[in-house]
Amino acid sequence: MTTILTATADLPVSADALYAFLADLSNHRAFLEPAVMNFQGEPDRHSYLLEVMGMKMPQELVAKTRIPGQLVSLVPGTRKLFDHELRFELAATGEGCTLRLVDEADIPMMMAMMGAEKLLQGQLDQALARIQELAGEGKLA
């Protein structure tokens, strides 16, 4: 397993508000697009197409664990590239909360040789940056 994680970001929203936003997977469109195509979301799952090296790859994630104000974790559904668990780790602070994204991934050797870890790191960093923007703009509702 490979662990890929972002820096920890300070956000100007409560952990409960951020949790409510992240726990409903249909809200993930706000920080995944425009990097993904054909996003379809429901409260417990979402799917989309991800373009990697000119290939459109279907991805589906479903909610695995939800701990209010602390954690939302997702795992692949029926359409998956490889086994992994994506965690949104939240913690309350005096003036808001912190957020870190962690992906525990079982990257196949061929994908690893093609730079999958670097690609995943970029996707996580981009998602975190977009969530920070949305929080700063008051759009996490």
Q: What is the DSSP letter of 27?
A: G
Question: Count of alpha carbons within 13 Å of 88, Cβ hemisphere only?
Answer: 25
Which amino acid is it at 49? Answer: L
Mean pLDDT for 87-113 is 88
Q: 70-74, 86-90, 109-113: which range is least confident on average? A: 109-113
Which 3 state secondary structure label does DSSP give 109? helix
Whether the full predicted model's pTM is greater than 0.75, yes or no, is: yes
Confidence category of residue 125, pLDDT binned at 50, 70, 90: very high
Beta bridge partners of residue 118, listed in sequence order: none
Which 3 state secondary structure label does DSSP give 87? strand
Q: Count the neighbouring beta carbons within 10 Å of the beta carbon of residue 104.
A: 16
Which 3 state secondary structure label does DSSP give 15? helix
* pLDDT tens for each residue of 19-64: 999 999 999 999 998 888 999 999 999 998 887 667 788 889 999 9
